[in-house]
Structure 1
Amino acid sequence: MSVDTVREEQAIRRMTEHLVQVFTGIHSAEHVEVVVGTVRHRFDGRPVRDFIPVLVERVVRQELETAAGASGETPSETTAQAFQNTTADVRPDAATGTSPDNAGDTVDSPGIHAPENSAAPRVWTDRVRSKGFLSLALAAVVVVAVVVVVTTGGREEPETPAAAPPPLATVRGVIGSEKQAFFEDPQVVKAFAAKGVKVEVDPAGSRQIATSIDLGRYDFAFPSSAPAADRIQRQRHVSQKYTPFSSPMAIATFQPIADLLTKAGVVKKGAVRTFDVARYLALVAKDKRWDQLAGNKVYPVRKNILVSTTDPRTSNSAAMYLAIASYVANGNTVVHGATAEVEVLPTVSKLFLRQGYTENTTEGPFDEYLAVGMGPSPLVWIYEAQFVDAAAQGRIKPGMVLTYPSPTVLSKHTLVPLNASGDKVGRLLSTDPELQRLAAEHGFRSGDASQFAKVAADHDVPVAADLIDVVDTPSYDTLEQLLDGVAKSYG
């Protein structure tokens, strides 16, 4: 199976799942899948496949919406529907008992077998079955046939093939993994296609993008932090950059854990729950375990109290965690200079070394959080956007809680164009209203704060309306020194 075929299958699958959700309570999942399959077959053999998922979705939506409104049909529509449902009574083979070779419905007869079309009012059925009405129908068929023969000379007119859509300009980028769901969203694909662009992306850890990925194969780089983007700009001698959206760092936990840490003075209640990093570091410095917390009956395990992160050697989210921890460990001051680096390194290294195995991107630990529960990781370091996006998809279960570290940092998703094609993607992401709206639906904060606030409110996610307790990250060089120091601690 080719790469393009795999992508088309994936897009069709995601689109089908989306339509099942959209029409929940109106059409069954099985019916939606049947309609998608039937419509897709109409495009078999088309050489240009880029637009197929978008076109299929458009036709399927129209057919499902039309069927959903069947109860409000006008008499003329009902007549046509009844006539369509009883074509078997009008065909010569039904009347005479013969079986012509071409009898039966054609592939291009949508709706004939749909359940919602099978129950026309009895009055119209009786009329169709009546001898007089049948004669009129047959006469009409003969008249139409004569007109066709006269106008075409008895020859079949070849079907005019539909004009192929204009080719899309393919633009390739390497992105932080937390944005993969956004770029794979069929609506995002459609929005780019409307601008003549097909975007193909490869996910990677943001630090990997800045340090070890071969960027010569890409049109743009889209890490999740400004420091990583700055390094790419310097290395590639690029002056332009775009920051179409951002996301503060957050901690995903569970209600029993939040309540437990509230008693310990780490989590504080308010409009949103906050996670006091200074108090947390004090517990880590004392090697405090969960089973040593007073009154702990909900999670009495013999494990150190630690926030689960990604690998600081490859991932931006772990680098952001390091930036916050180093700021607090340095007396609430941004780390700068060799002396400060040496002083905070033992404290911040412990945060990572005691975790054991860590993954390269935030998708791994967050997916485990969603699927497994608090057993392996009661505190998970994430991007706020991941939690809001999961809530929009209905993946947040009761008892899952979003907290904000105090202080936090703002992860600025910064796109660095490597050529003119990449620059076009950056401009579209930053200015196109539809792409900005879709970014908000995936949990990202864009220039229009109201869009993000609406998405969060629609899905009952309490988010920080105003990000006040936000600190700056160290310079890229200082952050690299700290990350290298942590890496060496791994041995």
Structure 2
Amino acid sequence: MGDPARTEPALVVVREPHLFRQRALRVLTLALALVLTVSGTAVLVTEDHLLLPFQRLTTLEGRLASKVESLEDGQVTRILLKHGIRVHTISSGSREVATGRLAGYDFAFPSGAPAGYLITSTRQKQSRYSKTYHPFDSPLVLATYRAYAETLQAAGVARPQTGSGAGEPLYYSLDMNRFLALTEHNRRWNDLGIRRYGLSNDDVVLAQTSDICLSNSAGTYLGLVAFTRNNNDVPTSTQQADKLAAQLKPLLIRQGSPGVDLFPYYASPQGRQLAPVVVVYEHQFLAYQAHYRATHRTVDTERVLLYPTARTLTQPQFIALNRRADPLGELLEHDPELQRREAELGYHVLGADTLTRHLQQQGVPVPQAPRDETSARMPDQTLLERMITTVKNCPAPATN
């Protein structure tokens, strides 16, 4: 048998230090967690996301068109998160949004009223919810390069806007009737003497559009051309619409490109060859110039805009497909932070002069409305759809 005086102290020495280490480790772990929580909260405060991890977020699914940056821009995302809203989006052309399936989506955001009308009228017939918001506008324009604009100016088709740039104007007024006549008579850029401005191009003079089956800008351009060719009047009958569409089909059918947004091609270094004149939205050009000015300390004087004298204002429509999306529509229309950011992205914010102030602050010339400008009205949506189908046999709309 062993001696108790030798074995009992050994048991005491082994247990007590082990318990002490466990308790100390727990205290240290709790203290470290508290430090991380406090420091993490401090980071959230400094980044304007106070308590976002503990805030309930509403996630909305949406389909939108060329106004994708209005919701996917980083600053817009941060503003929406502060209001407890996060969006997931799928992008496509406006008409594709309007004629495609919207089941499972909370909102749709086409780039203009025609596509918006397709959505709301279909849902009204089906007794389904929809509510429309109009956060901003953007005119339809033709983007080109200085050599092409100066060629059109020499031909009496375009003229510089006053005050649109010292010596090298960024903006020109375009006589749409004369411009369309060049296409109808197969006049080529070389015929107009573009070689005098350092380029050679034997293509027919025309404005390239995106696919009319997919894109709001292409459908709106069709409406503008129809208005111009109908003596600055909108077609109001089926007979008028059919006659105009048949006349315009040879003019427009060769202009459609497979994409839904031509501006990236225009802004690329190869743009002069890929897309010398393209139908785009004003906001794309203004945002490009503001970014270029901030990066290079000067505007891009080689890229310019042609404003048709028959002005066409596109009205993007945010359409809530259920009541969960209504708060986002209200924010887009009324939140001062979002309105300021929308102006920075080139949009005309409704009821405000924010865009003009932004361009002046950025050192970008402000476009001026021509004195002889008229407002081109779009045909009734049913007639416009009929004309689009005549120009190009587009797929039938889906049931939204």
TM value normalised by structure 1: 0.64
* Aligned 8 A contact 2:130 2:322 in 1: no
SS in 2 for 1:215: coil
Q: Deviation string for 1:350-407 (max 9, x for gaps)?
A: 233223x603312xx2111111231222111100010111122228633111221121
- Which position in structure 1 is the counterpart of 2:141? 250
- Which position in structure 1 is the counterpart of 2:43? none
Amino acid at match of 1:380: V
- Which position in structure 2 is the counterpart of 1:182? 70
Quick one: distance in 2 between partners of 1:421 and 1:405? 40
When residues 369 and 153 of structure 1 are mapped into structure 2, their CA distance, relative to the original with a 3 A threshold, is: closer
Q: Does 1:339 align with 2:227?
A: no
* Aligned 8 A contact 1:329 1:347 in 2: no
- Matching of residues 183-222 of structure 1 within 5 Å: 183-211=71-99, 213-222=100-109
* Aligned 8 A contact 1:221 1:416 in 2: yes
When residues 423 and 375 of structure 1 are mapped into structure 2, their CA distance, relative to the original with a 3 A threshold, is: same
- Which position in structure 1 is the counterpart of 2:248? 348
Q: Deviation string for 1:257-299 (max 9, x for gaps)?
A: 1111001111112234111110011111111111111464333
* Aligned 8 A contact 1:453 1:465 in 2: no
From 326, 339, 342, the counterpart of 1:423: 326
* Aligned 8 A contact 1:171 1:219 in 2: yes
* Aligned 8 A contact 2:213 2:394 in 1: no
| Count of residue correspondences | 334
Q: Relative contact order: is structure 1 or structure 2 higher (C-alpha 8 Å, sep ≥ 6)?
A: 2
* Aligned 8 A contact 1:310 1:360 in 2: yes
- Which position in structure 2 is the counterpart of 1:56? none
- Matching of residues 25-44 of structure 1 within 5 Å: none
SS in 2 for 1:199: strand
* Aligned 8 A contact 1:253 1:403 in 2: yes
- Which position in structure 2 is the counterpart of 1:409? 312
Quick one: distance in 1 between partners of 2:319 and 2:394? 32
When residues 473 and 462 of structure 1 are mapped into structure 2, their CA distance, relative to the original with a 3 A threshold, is: farther
1:154 Cα offset (Å): 11
Amino acid at match of 1:234: S
Amino acid at match of 2:356: A
Quick one: distance in 2 between partners of 1:214 and 1:239? 15
* Aligned 8 A contact 1:242 1:415 in 2: yes
- Which position in structure 1 is the counterpart of 2:352? 449
Amino acid at match of 1:382: V
- Which position in structure 2 is the counterpart of 1:289? 188
Quick one: distance in 2 between partners of 1:360 and 1:168? 34
SS in 1 for 2:209: coil
- 5+ residue gaps, structure 1, are 1-151
Q: Does 1:173 align with 2:72?
A: no
Amino acid at match of 1:260: T
* Aligned 8 A contact 1:391 1:459 in 2: no
Quick one: distance in 1 between partners of 2:195 and 2:26? 88
Q: Does 1:370 align with 2:270?
A: no
SS in 1 for 2:311: coil
* Aligned 8 A contact 1:285 1:347 in 2: no
- Which position in structure 1 is the counterpart of 2:387? 482
Two-structure CA RMSD over aligned residues (Å): 2.3
From 383, 400, 403, the counterpart of 2:281: 383
- Which position in structure 1 is the counterpart of 2:260? 361
* Aligned 8 A contact 2:180 2:206 in 1: no
- Matching of residues 11-410 of structure 1 within 5 Å: 155-156=27-28, 157-158=30-31, 159-160=33-34, 162=37, 164-176=53-65, 178-211=66-99, 213-237=100-124, 238=129, 240-271=131-162, 272-294=171-193, 296-297=195-196, 298-355=198-255, 358-362=257-261, 365-371=262-268, 372-394=270-292, 397-410=300-313
* Aligned 8 A contact 2:114 2:216 in 1: no
1:450 Cα offset (Å): 2.0
* Aligned 8 A contact 2:253 2:392 in 1: no
When residues 339 and 299 of structure 1 are mapped into structure 2, their CA distance, relative to the original with a 3 A threshold, is: farther
Quick one: distance in 1 between partners of 2:273 and 2:74? 34
